[in-house]
A and B are shown apart, each in its own frame.
Chain A
């Protein structure tokens, strides 16, 4: 027996918030993401090198921010149900040491396609008041 986890298309409304999450980015998270992804660019763990290339210090991997955004969408959509996902990286997230950078993710329905039974989920990802992703959109296959 298989149990589909796709969300139901019926009842969805444009503008509806389907998932939200607050994540505290820490240096530990960046190291963990570096290892998991294989992206060992030192600007994500070494302050000296980050400052040498003109950054305020160590910044989060854009792909970590993008990946966390997908996880928030998946929390509603179910694993394996996002068929298309795109973002623009507009602002870096400096991650202090010690300390944390609090990132908020809000996923709302941006558009609905009745024929294909897909929902476009628009993500707002912010560090404090600063939006860090632009045009962050995920396409979700619905039942």
Chain B
């Protein structure tokens, strides 16, 4: 089953808020070889002007992919996850994520392009904080091959 091109324009969420924790920021910083003390030591982060530990640049993917999961598992979109290759990714931050943030995410299917047995599915996750203020936009393009 190919991806359904009519799924473009759909939105999912908002989902249960994601709480950004110090432990998860440290764990992610270790995983991506991010060396700054502002990811690990609250005193250093505060000395640099942040409220609390600051997340690495791509940390927002942890939150965005949880929301995108609802798109790729929606049978009406028809993504075969074993046939997915990640094509492109983009983060646009209004401000950095910090420990203590409570983030609510809505994900939009912006575009589905099809050619030569491959569907390019572009999603856009909008992350807002507890006050409803925008924090980050995460845009992701997946290339989905049709099963032979």
Residues of chain B with a CB closer than 8 A to A4's CB? 48-49
B47 A3 Cβ-Cβ under 8 A: yes
Residues of chain B with a CB closer than 8 A to A71's CB? 32-35, 56-57
Of all chain B residues, the one with the shortest Cβ separation from A75 is: B35
Q: How many residues of B contact A (CB 8 A)?
A: 40
Listed by A's residue number, 24 A-B pairs whose Cβ atoms lie within 8 Å are A1-B47, A2-B47, A4-B48, A5-B38, A21-B33, A33-B31, A36-B30, A37-B28, A41-B81, A62-B86, A63-B89, A67-B28, A67-B32, A67-B57, A70-B32, A70-B58, A73-B57, A74-B57, A79-B96, A84-B93, A85-B58, A86-B88, A89-B88, A138-B57
**With A79-B48, A85-B58 already in contact, 20 other A-B pairs whose C-beta atoms are closer than 8 Å:** A2-B46, A3-B48, A4-B49, A21-B33, A37-B28, A67-B31, A67-B57, A68-B32, A70-B32, A70-B58, A71-B33, A71-B34, A74-B34, A74-B36, A74-B56, A79-B45, A79-B54, A83-B93, A86-B139, A89-B87
Residues of chain A with a CB closer than 8 A to B38's CB? 5, 78-80
Interface centre among A1, A36, A82, by most chain B C-beta atoms within 10 angstroms, is A36
Distance, CA A83 to CA B36, complexed state (A): 17
Q: What secondary structure prevails in chain A residues at the interface with B?
A: mixed
Confirm or deny: B85 has a beta carbon within 8 angstroms of a beta carbon on chain A.
yes
Distance, CA A80 to CA B35, complexed state (A): 13
Of all chain B residues, the one with the shortest Cβ separation from A87 is: B89
Of all chain A residues, the one with the shortest Cβ separation from B95 is: A80
A-B pairs, top 6 by smallest CB distance, nearest first, are: A67-B32, A36-B31, A80-B96, A70-B57, A86-B90, A2-B49
The tally of CB-CB contacts under 8 A between chains A and B is 125
State which of A37, A74, A78 has its C-beta within 8 Å of the C-beta of B61: A37
Distance, CA A79 to CA B90, complexed state (A): 18
Q: What secondary structure prevails in chain B residues at the interface with A?
A: mixed
Q: Which of A43-74 contact B (CB under 8 A)?
A: 53, 62-64, 66-68, 70-71, 73-74
B87 A88 Cβ-Cβ under 8 A: yes
Confirm or deny: B27 has a beta carbon within 8 angstroms of a beta carbon on chain A.
yes
Distance, CA A3 to CA B38, complexed state (A): 12
Distance, CA A41 to CA B56, complexed state (A): 22
